[in-house]
Each structure stands twice: as C-alpha cells, then as structure tokens.
Amino acid sequence: MKLYSRGVDVEIKARAEVYYGDEICKEKCKELLNIVELPTGLLPLEDIDECGYVKETGFFWFKRKYKKEYKFESIGRLVSYAPEVTGYIEKKRIKKATGIKSKELLIWITITELMVDDNPPPSGKITFKTPAGLFRSFPVSAFEIQEVN
C-alpha cells in the first residue's frame, strides 16, 4: 500500500469507502471513532472535504483545505492537524498516524500513535506516542464531545 505526499493514491481509494463533503464526513468519522471506542473529540472534524476508510486494513484518512490548530482547553494542549491526516485505526488505537503534532513548550512534536488504556482495571487514560518512543497520557474525558440534545 503506497502513500504519496500529494495524498492517498488511487489504488487505496478503489478499496475504500470514500465520502465527500463536510456533513457526511463529520458523521462518518464520528461513527468510525465510536465503533473503535475512541473519544469523538479526538480529531477536529470541521471543514472536512474528503474522508475514507479501508475496512480490511483499518487505513483511514481525512482531508481539508488547510491545517487546523485546536486547543484542548481541559489539558491546556495545542494540537496541529495537517490538511491531510492518515493512520491505521483499530479498537481503542490509531497507529502509524501522519499529520498530527502537539505543541510542547516551544516545539511541535509529531504524534504517530494514540491509544486508550483498556488493561484491567481501565485507567481512563489515552496515551499519545512520538516516533522516538516518548509518550504522554491524559484523561480520555478531555477528548469527549458532549452531545447536545
């Protein structure tokens, strides 16, 4: 499976469920996060132009026209999402992620793995890892979106 710097290739798209437009992409991304038991606020889902998911491999992506910075107020962390975010999603985990960075002190740190701890007893924490193996954990509740009825 190849990824090019200009985006997800045609071969991957041919095997994927692909959606276009902000509303349907937001709905499908939230649905996918719910299925794999990840917090629905983990990825900012506004202004997405395209999203896709290859069920057999777990590969997913979403695209927007611009990068997005989002501050998770409850933990005081600024996170930057590239115009294209990709990764492999599975139950309570995203691995080999691209396009996600977190600001620590004055530098941006690349995030390549996110996972919810489910070892008995569950800690209620989500851990973010860098390519160098450094990690930081936060409460899962910091990444939940409260649905308004």
CATH number of 10-142: 2.30.240
- pLDDT by residue for the chain (149 residues), tens digit each? 444 444 677 888 888 899 999 999 999 999 999 999 999 999 888 899 999 999 999 999 999 999 999 999 989 999 999 999 999 999 999 999 999 999 988 899 999 999 998 776 778 899 999 999 999 999 999 998 755 44
Residue 71 to residues 2, 17, 68, 101, 142, Cα–Cα distance (Å)? 32, 30, 10, 12, 11
This prediction has a pTM of 0.86
Domain spans, the chain: 10-142
Beta carbons of 37 and 93 less than 8 angstroms apart:
no
Encoded tokens for 80: 């930057």
